[in-house]
Structure 1
């Protein structure tokens, strides 16, 4: 049996078990994993992996979500295991009293695979998370061969209450057509690309006009003040990147309310405090 087959068998056997949180002091098997996988998880847990990139509103005053970065570079053999870790982090925040949506990006060929979608569906259903907490990030447009199967995979995810995001929007007309047809819930712009004058921002006006008005726009890789100025000028809804806050661990995420940028602004312009008598 190949490693990939064993992974699908694991998901199949695990789907009927109640969802459990990751235990940082692991003394019991987690999610029915093998002893080898458990040892790998214990090592990960001890490291408190810096895996979650906080997402804020444009002003940085409110945490609006998280991007699970390990999935951006995962191999096919790692996808389901990391997807489970991403779901478990969202569940951990939810049980801790924080409603933090998590974006779990996946390569297009995985979304077009019925076997991957079957496994992802089992994982999502078993997590018992509320609708709106899990978002699936799509890296790129499918090719002509994958087009129909990718649409079917996305629609299956949507029927489970999963939000759909397009991760690398460049303003291309084919991307706009795809976003319109699939009614994507979120679009992510790489702000380093939009620093170049050769890249037109006219596409943003098209997103803001019907039928894109309900789509949330995310600015990624916000690293310069100019990026933030552009995000404000273009009325972008959410921002994330080094200027807002560097990636953190899942436990640290529970302590986050606003961004590093918002804290800096507040320190420069402190709010006036009232004394006990109500006077300034």
Structure 2
């Protein structure tokens, strides 16, 4: 669940999110919060407090859009974040070096998982395996689904079985559920 830093720094927003998580009765560790950017200096303490409150609820912390900035790495290490997300084009263009990820692996925070986004080439998948990146997502994994394809999935036996368990009375003009 990606969140902007001003929302993480807001105690009212964190209170409301805490209530939602507690009332959802989801298992601990199922919800992951993605910090999109570093907070401005005046919001840094509030942001850390919000992240720590989420951590106490069992929410996993991820840093989205990692660029290799030392200050980003400091936040990741200080809060012991469970995931780092970076863009595959940065590795292709050598903006990020895979040596940086080896250093992250050697640190005390070895439970941190590495996620590569925008993996679009078969060569990307080979490189991710060599560089020991834990997870990847992008168009090489699954192309976007069109509305036409979604309608065909909706007509499948699996979809019919799912919808038969949860009867939906309200159909719109297109027959969508």
Q: Shorter chain as normaliser: what TM range? A: 0.7 to 0.9
Equivalences for 1:1-280 in 2 at 5 Å?
104-246=1-143
User: Higher relative contact order by CA 8 Å / sep ≥ 6: 1 or 2?
Assistant: 1
Stretches (4+) displaced over 2 A: 197-202, 246-249
Q: Unmatched 5+ residue regions in structure 2? A: 159-177
TM (norm. structure 2) is: 0.78
CA distance in structure 2 between the partners assigned to 1:122 and 1:247 by the alignment? 33
Tell me, what secondary structure is at the counterpart of 2:41?
coil
Query: What displacement does 1:247 show?
Result: 5.1
Could you tell me whether the CA contact under 8 Å between 1:171 and 1:204 is conserved in 2?
no
CA distance in structure 2 between the partners assigned to 1:105 and 1:154 by the alignment? 13
CA distance in structure 1 between the partners assigned to 2:95 and 2:82 by the alignment? 27
Query: What displacement does 1:198 show?
Result: 4.2
Tell me, what secondary structure is at the counterpart of 1:137?
strand
Query: What displacement does 1:206 show?
Result: 1.6
CA distance in structure 2 between the partners assigned to 1:201 and 1:173 by the alignment? 15
CA distance in structure 2 between the partners assigned to 1:202 and 1:171 by the alignment? 11
Tell me, what secondary structure is at the counterpart of 1:124?
helix
Tell me, what secondary structure is at the counterpart of 1:230?
helix
CA distance in structure 1 between the partners assigned to 2:115 and 2:51 by the alignment? 20
CA distance in structure 1 between the partners assigned to 2:33 and 2:65 by the alignment? 13
Q: Looking at secondary structure, tell me which structure has more helix per residue.
A: 2
The CA RMSD over aligned residues, in Å, is: 1.8
Q: Unmatched 5+ residue regions in structure 1? A: 1-103, 256-280
Tell me, what secondary structure is at the counterpart of 1:145?
helix
Aligned length: 149
Residues 247/231 of structure 1: CA separation in 2 closer, same or farther (3 Å cut) = same
